[in-house]
Amino acid sequence: MKKLEQLYEGKAKKVFKTDDPNLYIVDYKDDATAFNGLKKGTIAGKGVINNRVSNHLMKMLEKNGIPTHLVEEISERETIVKKVTIIPLEVIVRNIAAGSLAKRLGMEEGTKLQHTVLEYCYKDDELGDPLVNEYHIYALGAATKEELDLIADYAFKINRLLSDYLKDLNIELIDYKIEFGKTPDGTIILADEISPDTCRFWDSVTGEKLDKDRFRRDLGNVEGAYHEIMKRLLGE
């Protein structure tokens, strides 16, 4: 597989074309941003950890019936993925109140939600990824009702699978953001990444934050938290 020209460079990853028109290579960076790019920094080793953690979790999901973009990890930071067009939605699932939901609804962080919450944000940096509902999504033409029903169904299944998997490792899945893409034949699959950058992971026993909130909120030991997640998931 040949890595050809760079297609795109995002905040945390680069995407390259390959000599196979149906496959891309993703290259994970150590760059970290928060608050829509206002805060910038580097988390040493993050690219390696997110590549490996995301692939590990996607493999587990794939085994349990969730179609994903994962094809093959080819180096510490690089993975071959299926070519998709990203559906411009951040799909957010929440089990425990934290972050923007805690703020918006005046709930204390850490409060167990009486029902799982599913939210959508429209991916648009200039607009700051605004919260939208189903009707906005249809109005924008971002997804059809059939597509969104499938996405919601996958999002809840992923929540059960990930929460159960992580619980055994003493990690509480507070909330997370996932993205879906459409393959050239129109199939919707899980894309992007599942990592400490995109999830809130709290230690089940101590409540310690083991995710990007350590960077966002200047809590210190950011690298240590990312390493701890990799150690618990991959045993190293």
The site for ligand 5GP (CB under 6 A) is made up of 90, 92, 98-101, 129, 175-177, 197-200, 212
DSSP the chain: --EEEEEEE-SSEEEEEESSTTEEEEEE-SEEEETTTTEEEE-TTHHHHHHHHHHHHHHHHHHTT--BSEEEE-SSSEEEEE--EEPSEEEEEEEE--HHHHHHHTPPTTPEEEEEEEEEEE--GGGT--EE-HHHHHHHTSS-HHHHHHHHHHHHHHHHHHHHHHHTTTEEEEEEEEEEEE-TT--EEEES--STTTEEEEETTT--B-STHHHHTT-S-HHHHHHHHHHHHH--
- Judge contact between 64 and 210, C-beta under 8 A: no
Q: In the complex with ligand 5GP, which residue's Cβ is closer, 67 or 99?
A: 99
Q: In the complex with ligand 5GP, which residue's Cβ is closer, 23 or 34?
A: 34
Q: In the complex with ligand 5GP, which residue's Cβ is closer, 147 or 175?
A: 175
Q: Which residues contact 125 (CB under 8 A, 6 or more apart)?
A: 36, 37
Q: In the complex with ligand 5GP, which residue's Cβ is closer, 15 or 23?
A: 15
In angstroms, give the least distance from the CB of 121 to ligand 5GP: 7
In angstroms, give the least distance from the CB of 90 to ligand 5GP: 5
Q: In the complex with ligand 5GP, which residue's Cβ is closer, 172 or 175?
A: 175
Number of residues written out for the chain: 236
Q: In the complex with ligand 5GP, which residue's Cβ is closer, 120 or 176?
A: 176
**Residue matched to tokens 């950890």:** 49
